[in-house]
Amino acid sequence: MSNLAYKVQQRRQQQQHQTHERQHSNEQKTVVTKRRSTITAGEKLLLILFTAAILISAIKIVTNSFQVYQSNIDIQKLQASVDSQTKANSDLQVQVKELSNYERIWSKAKEMGLTLDKNNVKSVQD
């Protein structure tokens, strides 16, 4: 047992000696500890890529929405143009019917000095 006690005491002395040396070395040297950031470089890269992907997606969505809006405006303009042209065409068809009335044609012919010769008249059907 005395041998065991001797070994324990040796260990204590060695530990005290080591701690004493550490204290002296700490006094002489300033230990620079590097603090690692909580976010690694790979995580930073992933974060940057994720942010860039979200930003690009948002820009594409806004751009597409604007293009759809512009297309709708163009469609509405074209529809208004078609509607006004359809109205103009129907008005012109009514005017053609009015102007092609037989009585009107006969009155215009009389004004120009034309006479009706039944032998030269040909009937044209619509």
Residue 59 is assigned to a structural domain of this protein: yes
pLDDT band at 50 (very low <50, low <70, confident <90, very high): very high
CA distances from 48 to 2, 43, 55, 85, 107 (A): 67, 9, 10, 55, 87
For 87-126, write each residue's pLDDT tens digit: 999 999 999 998 888 888 888 888 888 877 777 767 777 5
Mean pLDDT (the chain) is 84
Residue 75 is assigned to a structural domain of this protein: yes
Q: 3-class DSSP state for residue 76? A: helix
Specify the pLDDT at position 31: 60
Residue 125 is assigned to a structural domain of this protein: no
Domain of residue 96, residue span? 2-28+39-111
Specify the pLDDT at position 59: 98
63 token code pair: 């751009």
Number of domains the chain is built from: 1
Residue 34 is assigned to a structural domain of this protein: no
